[in-house]
Structures are given as structure tokens and as C-alpha cells.
Chains A and B, each alone.
Chain A
């Protein structure tokens, strides 16, 4: 910038710190809540500093579960969320990279039809077709199964478009060179295109993992058994309508555990995350 006034720098730092404080405060309060006794929270007298029950509350949350409406320990829910997030992320990447490969590197009848069929799904988010999709999943006996959690969310126009865009920038000479070396379409894909797409795949993986982990409406409908619940659904079910029965310390410990994996992914793989975010929105 042009001016280097001390005042402006200090203001900038101050504004950023205030912003960070506001952004972090809800999570800080959740952490505080997860270390106190139920009665302290229920009285509305919770202090702003951590309580003594950190180990006890988290132990109970992970291995025993809340005594309220959902009795599964959170470790089960964490596992369900992990399976669902990983299958959505890997499944989406796998089916979109091969379909993008077909669309870009082959010429065949109905190529453009296929492309448009995929493209239009951008306009059909799961929220607007929720009940018919549920009915189809039920007819296919997918309720309460990992396949039911992941499959309907696996088709993605965004990922296909992203790979298509990337393949278009790959020089044609590479195809010619690998042809001269005697490689067919399969070899070219495996030995040339996949290694080149590594960064894109990783960036996409970060975004899709978070997307899968944070799903709410679909798992809410498709899971009825407690042991198939994802952690995000589990939290919601722990909050009972009769307020007195909600064990807020367990709810908050669960919330902390639900945030930990996706937030860790964002912080640790920050560069890939930013790249994935910017590219999927193009």
C-alpha cells in the first residue's frame, strides 16, 4: 500500500483480531460447555472459563453416548461420518474423472448428449427433489446403508466439469507421444493423465470430504437406525424438545468432535483447500 502510517496498521490488526474473536467465540463457548457439569449449564450459570470435567465428558461422549434419545456412542457416529465422507469424495472423483476422460478424449455418438445430461444436474440440488429421491432409495433397499448414504450424492457435474476443463489444457502432444510409444487409451490414462491430475484430485478431495462430512438433510431422511447415524445427525437428535433432558455438555463435546476432522483438513491442507474452492466455483 502507499501510506505506511502506524495508525492504519494498528487499526487493521485490531479489526482482524476482533473478526477472529467473533468468528471463534461460538466454538470457544462450545468447548467451555463441553467441560462443565450438566447442572451448571442448565442453571444458566456457566462461567466463561473451562470446567473440570474435560476428560470425563469426552470419555462418556465417545464411548458411552448420551442417555437421551440417541444412545449410540459418538465413536460409532464418527465412523459412519468418515465412511460416508470418504465414499462420497472418492466415488465422485472416480466416476467424474473417467466420464470427463471419455468426453474429452473420445469421439462417439451421443457424446454431447451425455455431456448435457451431466451438466443439467448442476440445477438439481438434493434439497429440491428430496422426497422422490428418498422413495427411489427406499425402493432400491438403500435405507440404513452406507450405499444409500453415499450413492445419491455421488454424481457431480462440478467435478466432471473441473476435470474436463483441466484435460482441455493438457497438450495434445502428450497423446501423440504416448501413441508413438504404443500406448492405448488405458495406458495413456493411467501413466500420463492420472499423474498430471494429482493436484486437482487432491484439491477436489478436500472440498468433497467437507461436503460429504457436513451432509444433513439426506442422512436425516435415509437413516432410521441409531447405529447408522452420522455425527451431524446425532447432535441434532441429542437436543430433545423437552429442554430439561438435553445433556448440553455431551452435545457440545459431540459438536467439538464433529468439527474437528473437517476443520483439521482445511487448516492442514490449506493450499489445496483454497485451490479446490476457487476451481470448483469456476
Chain B
């Protein structure tokens, strides 16, 4: 971690590192510690004074049935998004890994959704599935489905999952493709000589060899579904109808802004921080080991 050769200078290194440390302290540590501190406070109804209440906010939070509902919603959402986008991306990556004409063009045509803002992705999908004017909604009605994500919580959930998965496919595709290209062709050829058919080769050789990539993407996708989908949900459903699409991050936002429940919102933030720390730790542990098969 340290160079053998280095410079010695009394003040220069501090000047170099000062801007980053300053921004980090002011905009990361200070607010994070505020959140932790606030989670132990209870504000009165007018926000004029606050008293220290220990773990009261946490106790309220974890005795609230609606919080568990939100956790469940988040888990359903994250699982669905991860499964759909990972499997779609794997299917496409396996095809693109074959020696096809125009393989690079395919890659270009599949990776650009990464650049679409989550909120914009939400608006695009809302436009297609809007109950009164969407093109796809029109088709669904012809099929006899009473499609209305504005009123039906399940429909709303399906909609946000589709939009969130759509946006993540390109990312997963790129990493799967890189993972597939790193598998030595000789192994696959050897299996073919032994008489293994393509499907068998995929499940017994390619897929296990791909497991480090898959595991890495699993963690990244869960983090994405937890934290980076705020824009999608806010643009499409605003957490509704009846909180059917309210994830943990969205609830922090909604409770702090609408409810004015700063202590409760802060306690939720702290719970989220713990989740992020856990996920990051898993990610780093994995990176240390690198290969798991």
C-alpha cells in the first residue's frame, strides 16, 4: 500500500488531501452523525424543542407493522428486479458471446440504457403503461385485463419492477459478456469432444465458471434496487397506490418530508446505513477472495 520511493514535504500532502477531506467531513460525516444523533431525539409537535429519548424512535419503528410491510415491499421489489434483469442479461450475453457477424454492433445497441436517468426511465414506462393513454395499456385492455397501476398495487409493482429491470439489463449484460469472454475456449472444446451438448456444457461448465461474475452482479443489483431506484419510483407511482411501491429509501424521504417525523426518519436512515455497510462488506469480502469455485 506504500511506495518504496516517496516524497517528503512538510505541508504539501496536507494541502493536496485537504479539499477531499473537507468535502467529506462537511457533506458526509457531519450529516451522517446528525442522522445518528437525531435518531435518539424526539421533536415536539411544533419542532421547537427536542428531547433525548434513547432508542425510543427505533422501538417505535420496529413495533410499527407498516415498517415491516415496507421491508417486505423492498425485498419483493429487489428480488424481482434482480432476477429479471440478471436472467435477461445472461440470455443476451450468451448469444452475443457466440461468433456472430456484427457482434460489436449488438453490444452498442444493448448498452445505452445504462445512460438513461432512472426518473426518465420511469417516465418512459409510465407513458407506455399509463391506464388512459398508454399504448401497452390499450393492448392489455384488448386482452381483457383491467390494467390500472394508479389503483391496483400489484399492477403498480409490476410496472416499477419492469422499468427498474429494463434500466439495469445493459449493466449486467456488459459484465456477463466480459465474464463469458474470459472463460478459456479450450475447456468448452474439451467438453464438446467428450460429447457434451451445448445446454449441458452451459450448465455444467460455463455457468459455474461464471459464478464470480454472477455473485458480484447479485450484490450490485441488490444495492441498485435498494438505493438507485428512488427516481423510478418517485416518477412513476410516488410510492403508491396505498404505499404498495414504497421501498425503504422512499419511506425515509416520504416520512421526513410529508410526515415531518424527523426522529423516525433519522432512525430509518441509520437502519439503511447499516444495510449499506453490510452489503459493502459482502462485496469486499468477495473481491478479496475473487474466485469462489
Contacts and interface: CB of A to CB of B under 8 A. Distances in A.
B110 interface: yes
Interface stretch (B14-22, B41-49, B63-71, B74-82): B14-22
A152 to B, nearest CB: 4
A69 to B, nearest CB: 14
A136 B135 contact: no
Give chain A's interface residue range (CB within 8 Å of chain B).
Answer: 35 or more
Given A23-B169, A26-B166, A175-B5, A252 B127 contact: yes
A216 B124 contact: no
A33 B110 CA distance: 22
Nearest to B217: A281
Most A CB contacts (10 A, CB to CB) among B117, B169, B231, B234 go to B117
Contacts of A176: 5
Nearest to B262: A131
Interface in A213-267: 213-214, 216-217, 220, 232-233, 235-236, 239, 243, 248, 251-252, 255, 258-259, 262-263, 265-267
A101 interface: yes
A12 B100 contact: yes
A20 B92 CA distance: 9
Contacts of B291: none
Given A8-B198, A106-B7, A214 B17 contact: no
Contacts of B34: 129, 132, 135-136
A223 to B, nearest CB: 14
A137 B26 CA distance: 9
B249 to A, nearest CB: 5
Interface string B1-44: 11111111100111011011101111111111011001000000
A23 B12 contact: no
B39 to A, nearest CB: 11
Contact of A123 (B4, B23, B119, B277): B277
A121 B276 contact: no
Contact of B110 (A20, A132, A214, A277): A20
A214 B13 contact: no
A117 B17 CA distance: 11
A122 to B, nearest CB: 6
Contacts of B91: 15, 19
B27 A123 contact: no
Nearest to A110: B14
Interface stretch (A37-45, A59-67, A195-203): A37-45
A16 B106 contact: yes
Interface string B106-138: 111111111111111101111110001111011
A89 interface: no
A155 interface: yes
A235 B13 CA distance: 44
A249 B112 CA distance: 23
A163 to B, nearest CB: 11
Most A CB contacts (10 A, CB to CB) among B30, B123, B137 go to B123
Contacts of A9: 98, 100
A55 interface: no
A258 B127 CA distance: 16
Contact of A108 (B14, B134, B192, B273): B14
Interface string A160-174: 100000011000100
B171 interface: yes
A105 interface: yes
B60 interface: no
B272 A128 contact: yes
Contact of A105 (B3, B29, B95): B3
B178 A278 contact: yes
B88 interface: yes
Contacts of B98: 1, 8-9, 12
A232 B120 contact: yes
Pick the 8 closest A-B CB pairs, nearest first: A132-B31, A214-B117, A216-B231, A262-B115, A132-B34, A102-B16, A106-B13, A155-B23
11 contacts: A13-B95, A22-B166, A27-B124, A108-B14, A114-B21, A124-B32, A127-B230, A131-B256, A232-B231, A236-B235, A274-B174
